[in-house]
Amino acid sequence: MIRNILDYLENSANLYPDKLAFADETVQLSFKETLSLSKQVGTALSTFGSDHLPVAVYMEKTPFALTSFFGAVYSGRCYSPIDAQMPVKRVEQILKTLNTNYLIVDQKTYEKVDQFQYKGHVLLFDDLLKTPADETHLALIRQKAIDTDPLYIIFTSGSTGVPKGVVLSHRAVIDFVEWFSLTAGFDSSTVFGNQAPFFFDMSVKDIYSTLRNGATAWIIPQRLFSFPIDLFKYINAHGINTLAWATSAVCMATSESVFERQCPKAVRALCFGGEAMPVQVLRIWQNYLPEAFYMNMYGPTEAAVDCAYHIVQRDRVYQSFYPAGRPCQNMEILILNGDKPVEGNEVGEICIRGTALANGYYRDPEKTAEVFVQNPLNTAYPELIYRTGDMGWYNDRGEIMFASRKDGQIKHRGYRIELGEVETAIAGVPGVLRCCCLFDQAADKIVCVYTGTAERKEILLTASQSLPKYMWPNTFVRLDALPMTLNGKIDRVRLKEEYIHD
């Protein structure tokens, strides 16, 4: 029985000791090397005792950062990744919430630490490697570990402006990785092209699927996503055949001209999520890679990356977006109107139950209690569900469809409108690649910011087929590209600052 992610690492190191595990432009680690470095980091951290405080890892995005993650687990702790490019204020907020004594840095990030009000141990990665692995001590630590112990703490945006630390257990991640690997058909021949930052939960797919399957993961340089031809050259040069990317990254890399000049021919699987994938974007991939496996994935960080999926069917006609689909294995999704299940095509809040649920928010019991609540459909014994704040419904096939955020509802000209519904209609317009709708409350106007070649008249002509006139955007802004957050989603805050004037 797998009950710790280190079991994955040790199994693969035993089966494929010299096989490439994690690599980037400058560092290449085999499974044996990954295991050895992780044990050294773990042994060094264990010399500080067994206080179970999280280990903050503030390093450049390299394979060495991954060995710090695994090393933290070897020491009997969990880890929390902090991106080296994060603003100082956000790093300070995260460190304040973690309240930890352990911050691992590399040579580049070490120079930035003086900017923070941090009083704990600043541990240089290279110094940690001076400690030889103590197998006996690490084995004693492991004996006390159970699968519900925290594995990592990933921070997401908070409604109050303060990041929330989502705590995920080994069991939650193991459940997901087992299902994901079997469903997508990963094995030791799989070569991942990692896109997601390590502080973004989508990277969990690459990292732990690599460990579980004895696969290989290449960390793709972030700069290449601004140059799709160079990006595809990199993919081809390293034999990358599997992509688990944010929808925004897929969209940025997609155009007919790029595929004509440099098709990523080795790609046999594309799994995407984070935001709705426009059908017309994926069609380009399908036209050039018709035999590849395509899967849409939906889920919040609070439910171990993803909780629902839909395998794209070649002979099925889709409209604007793909279904969120059906629950992943060992999970159940409830769509509730208040405390009751929705009926028919009624829209309700998407709620989740299962072992993949997070343990809650780190050092934030009040926020945890707001969204991790007793299942209203079960009054017989304690059972938590997570209220996502996402709205959805069941289509005629019984598949879950994402509608919008719960807080995405506006009142415009006396009508209650879900901006997500407007975005869905516009995304289906030929010539529109991506769109984001905002509400200017002071002016009582809906502003549509989009990319693509479509003109305002074309958009309204098509959108009028599914939207009543009161839901039409009043203002259209066409951009070459939409701004993105660090998590790879449309930066709505930035767009509001630019185009909404209170």
User: Starting from the edge strand earliest in sequence, which strands make up the sheet with 55-59, in order?
Assistant: 121-124, 102-105, 55-59, 79-83, 150-156, 164-169, 360-361
State residue 268's pLDDT score. 98
Other Cβ atoms less than 10 A from the Cβ of 478: the count is: 16
CA–CA dist 305, 176 (Å, integer)? 8
State residue 160's pLDDT score. 52
SS3 456: helix
**Helix ranges (DSSP H) in 224-268:** 228-237, 247-253, 256-261
Token pair of 75 as six digits: 């020491």
The partner residues of 446 in beta bridges, in order of sequence, read: 439
Token pair of 46 as six digits: 């264990």
SS3 64: helix
CA 264-270-272 angle, 5° bins: 130
Q: Which amino acid is at 415?
A: Y
What are phi and psi for residue 116, nearest 5 degrees? -100, 155
* 194-233 exposure pattern, b = at least 16 Cβ within 10 A, e = fewer: bbbbbbbbbbbbbbbbbbbbbbbbbbbeeebbeebeebbe
Name 420's Cβ contacts closer than 8 Å, sequence gap at least 6. Answer: 391, 402, 403, 404, 405, 408
Provide the phi-psi class of 312: left if phi over 0, else alpha when psi is between -120 and 50, else beta.
beta
SS3 235: helix
Per-residue pLDDT of the chain (502 residues; tens, 9 = 90+): 899 999 999 999 999 999 999 999 999 999 999 999 999 999 999 999 999 999 999 999 999 999 999 999 999 999 999 999 888 888 998 999 999 999 999 999 998 999 988 999 999 999 999 999 999 999 999 999 999 999 999 998 654 557 899 999 999 999 999 999 999 999 999 999 999 999 999 999 999 999 999 999 999 999 999 999 999 999 999 999 999 999 989 999 999 999 999 999 999 999 999 888 999 999 999 999 999 999 999 999 999 999 999 999 999 999 888 999 999 999 999 999 999 999 999 999 999 999 999 999 999 999 999 999 999 999 999 999 999 999 999 999 999 999 888 876 787 877 778 788 889 889 989 999 999 999 998 888 999 999 999 999 999 998 888 787 888 999 999 999 999 887 778 999 899 999 997 6
List the domains of the chain with CATH numbers: 5-311 (3.40.50.12780), 413-499 (3.30.300.30)
Please, is 417 exposed, middle or buried when counting C-beta atoms within 10 Å of its C-beta (0-12, 13-18, 19+)?
buried
Q: How far is the CA of 97 from the CAs of 101, 163, 165, 441, 456, in angstroms?
A: 12, 8, 8, 34, 46
Q: pTM value?
A: 0.88
Alpha-carbon dihedral sign for residues 136, 138, 139, 144: positive
